[in-house]
């Protein structure tokens, strides 16, 4: 049994630890406040592209702290400290003002972009938020408020949904700004938010995009979100588009707007116009986006993309040393992307059943061959496994031939 004295010591210890944490937080807060005063905070801009035309139609403003000794500090390292404080609102207002000022400056250079800013839940619900944003907009009368977008974190505890919904409506009706639900799909109540909040745009969270080429579940969610957005008449943009293949898959699924490292990382405002003047359309995306395809052709192109992705990932692994091999693609034919594709189409009437059965058979053969190679590789017979690679490529050629027959 602990004595009274030991409890007291324990309590005091706890108290000092708590005090220490509080003091550190206060110290950080005043450092960040000082950074705001010293003009050490800045906004970077990440381009948003219409993949059908490759037009850069907008940019997202993302805060950075350029520390005099530590260099660039990303938002995840200082925004959590100001979470729930007055400083969060102060910095939020600064971001809004700065972004509108930037829009005005770009307009003077003939650059018209939709600029989005991230608005925290506390900032959105702070007293006189709409009035303050209105004043910032009024300072730059050349800026059309329709080109300003507020990104609201879908996953954040939005608080009183009715109140948030009202603020959003007033922002749209009185100020004319538009609203995007950020990181869509990560919240507990995405569907409720979709129903109650009159957003104009949905930003699909990057976690779904990152894995959609390999994970059929993520792709199914993505496909569902795009369909849902379509039914609600909302614009949908994908964030975290890291490769051309991601872009192509999105195009084929019906999402035409994208933001991500494959287009550009966030860039300082001063470098943005230079980047814009050098921007070159991605040839694969533009070819894919421009081509008119029937529903059938579109689905076939999607199958080819996911089959190629699987083949590439498997072959690369087989050719690397075991310690360097990345994770293997889904090895069971019913669970991989193509397996899901076949299952889905079997329930539909679009393709002839006989052709689908032939495709399914060739697909199973690809998996059987790959599984045999993987077994050898895992048993240490690496060279022998690699020698079997042409057999796998042949099986994939047969799969492609079966796919052609589906057209």
Which of 183, 245, 345, 362 touches Mg ion by CB under 5 A?
183
> Tokens 């796998």 correspond to what residue?
392
Q: What is the DSSP string of 204-250?
A: E-HHHHHHTTT-HHHHHHHHHHHHHHHHTT-EEEEE---SHHHHHHH
Nearer to ligand C2E, 123 or 358 (CB): 123
Return the axis-axis angle of helices 389-406 and 353-378, rounded to nearest 10°.
170
Residue 167 interaction partner, one of Mg ion, ligand C2E, none, beta carbon < 5-8 Å per kind: none
Closest CB 296 distance from ligand C2E, rounded Å:
31
Instruction: Pick what 74 binds: Mg ion, ligand C2E, none; C-beta below 5 to 8 Å, kind-dependent.
Output: ligand C2E
Binds ligand C2E (CB under 6 A): choice among 36, 52, 54, 75 = 75
Cβ nearer to ligand C2E, comparing 175 with 237: 237
Query: Does the footprint of Mg ion cover residue 178 (CB under 5 A)?
Result: no
Closest to 59 in 3D by CA, of 148, 140, 130: 148
DSSP H/E element including 35: helix 4-37
Reading the block at residue 363, the tokens are: 């697909």
Print the binding letters for residues 240-279 with ligand C2E: x by CB under 6 A, - otherwise.
xxx-----------------xx----x-------------
Are residues 289 and 50 in contact, defined by beta-carbon separation less than 8 angstroms? no
Length of the chain: 407
79 binds ligand C2E per the rule CB under 6 A: yes
Q: Which two tokens stand for residue 139?
A: 């300072």
Contact 117, 99 (CB under 8 A): yes
Q: Which stretch binds ligand C2E (CB under 6 A): 9-17, 21-29, 239-247, 277-285?
A: 239-247
Q: From the list Mg ion, ligand C2E, none, which binds 232 (C-beta under 5 to 8 Å, kind-based)? A: none
Note whether 309 binds ligand C2E by CB under 6 A.
no
Applying CB under 6 A, which part among 14-22, 213-221, 235-243, 353-361 lies near ligand C2E? Answer: 235-243
Residues 185-224 that bind ligand C2E (CB under 6 A): 206
Are 167 and 187 contacting, i.e. CB atoms less than 8 angstroms apart?
Answer: no
Burial 152-164 (b: 16+ CB within 10 A, else e): bbbbbebeeeeeb
- Show Cβ contacts of residue 347 under 8 Å, excluding neighbours closer than 6 positions: none
Residue 201 token pair? 């745009």
Helix ranges, 171-205 (H): 190-196
Q: Is 305 in the site for ligand C2E (CB under 6 A)?
A: no
Whether 262 and 242 have beta carbons less than 8 Å apart is answered as yes
Which partner, ligand C2E, Mg ion, none, binds residue 178 by CB below 5 to 8 Å per kind?
none
Choice from 97, 102, 118, 149 touching Mg ion (CB under 5 A): 118
By the criterion CB under 5 A, which residues form the site for Mg ion?
118, 151, 182-183, 239
By the criterion CB under 6 A, which residues form the site for ligand C2E?
46, 62-63, 74-76, 79, 95, 118, 120, 151, 153, 182-183, 206, 239-242, 260-261, 266
């Amino acid at each position: 049994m602990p004595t009274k004295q030991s409890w007291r010591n324990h309590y005091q210890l706890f108290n000092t630890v708590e005090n220490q944490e509080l003091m550190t937080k206060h110290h950080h807060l005043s450092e960040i406040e000082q950074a705001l005063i010293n003009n050490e905070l800045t906004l970077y801009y990440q381009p948003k592209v219409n993949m059908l035309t490759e037009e850069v139609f907008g940019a997202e403003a993302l805060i950075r702290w350029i520390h005099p000794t530590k260099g660039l500090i990303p938002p995840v390292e200082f925004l959590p400290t100001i979470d729930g404080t007055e400083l969060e609102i102060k910095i939020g207002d600064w971001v809004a003002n700065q972004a509108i000022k930037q829009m005005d400056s770009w307009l003077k250079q003939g650059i018209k972009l939709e600029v989005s800013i991230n608005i925290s839940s506390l900032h959105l619900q702070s007293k006189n938020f709409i009035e303050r944003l209105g004043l910032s907009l009024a300072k730059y009368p050349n800026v059309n408020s329709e080109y300003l977008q507020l990104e609201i974190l879908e996953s954040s505890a939005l608080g009183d949904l009715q109140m948030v919904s009202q603020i959003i409506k007033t922002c749209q009706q009185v100020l004319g700004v538009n609203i995007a639900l950020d990181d869509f799909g990560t919240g507990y109540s995405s569907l409720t938010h979709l129903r109650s909040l009159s957003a104009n745009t949905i930003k699909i969270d990057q976690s779904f995009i990152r894995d959609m080429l390999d994970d059929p579940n993520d792709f199914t969610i993505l496909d569902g979100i795009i369909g849902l957005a379509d039914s609600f008449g909302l614009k949908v943009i994908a964030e975290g588009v890291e490769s051309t293949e991601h872009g192509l898959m999105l195009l084929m699924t019906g999402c035409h707007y994208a933001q991500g490292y494959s287009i550009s990382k966030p860039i300082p405002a001063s470098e943005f116009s230079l980047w814009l003047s050098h921007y070159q359309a991605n040839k694969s995306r533009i070819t894919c986006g421009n081509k008119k395809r029937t529903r059938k052709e579109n689905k076939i192109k999607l199958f080819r993309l996911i089959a190629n992705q699987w083949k590439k990932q498997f072959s690369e692994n087989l050719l690397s040393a075991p310690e360097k091999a990345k994770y293997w693609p889904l090895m069971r034919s019913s669970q991989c992307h193509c397996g899901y594709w076949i299952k889905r189409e079997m329930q539909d009437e679009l393709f002839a059943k006989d052709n689908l059965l032939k495709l399914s058979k060739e697909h199973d053969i690809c998996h059987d061959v790959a599984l045999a190679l993987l077994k050898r590789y895992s048993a240490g017979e690496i060279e022998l496994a690699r020698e079997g690679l042409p057999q796998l490529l042949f099986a994939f050629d047969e799969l492609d031939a079966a796919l052609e027959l589906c057209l």
